[in-house]
Amino acid sequence: MRWALVLLVLGLAGIAAAVAFWWPAGSTAPAHRTSATVVTPARCGGGDAYDRVELKVGDKPRTARLDGCGHQENEVVEVVVPADTSGDFTVQAATSTPTGMPLETRLAVLLTCLSGMAGGLYAHLIGGRNRPQPTASAEAV
């Protein structure tokens, strides 16, 4: 019965670790994706290597800096628009925006947690063998 309780606790801890680290990480502000058209391309390598794009924010057409360079004029790019679009703002290409913790990182963290739990179980098993066993004392004879 004691082993069943230990295995149950370890199993539930493993499931909790898997859920905690496998759950998709969401950002605090939702990313708004839209299409933009390059109106002024910039050459890469300069100090101001940002293309200018035109996009619709709400119902109004706006121009913004694209965090990138080397696109062709009238090329349509999918971009991520920041939450604050007042004044001059910069958009990022949607393909270069991270969406959450990479799968490799989440898998590495999960395997590290599981190996730590396996090590704890192994230490528990080894520690149980080294306990002194009760012996008959000389007075009982």
Return the CATH number of 32-96, one of 1.10.510, 1.10.3470, 2.60.40, 2.40.50: 2.40.50
pLDDT the model gives residue 39: 93
Span 50-97, pLDDT tens digits = 889 999 888 888 899 988 888 889 999 998 888 878 888 888 888 766
SS3 assignment for 57-74: ECCEEEEEEECCCCCCCC
Structure tokens at 38: 């390059």
pTM above 0.85? Answer: no
Would you say residue 23 has pLDDT above 80? no
pLDDT the model gives residue 54: 92
Span 93-132, pLDDT tens digits = 887 666 666 777 777 877 887 787 787 777 777 776 666 6
SS3 of 133, please? coil
What is 97-137 written as a DSSP string?
S--SS-HHHHHHHHHHHHHHHHHHHHHHHHHHHTSPPP---
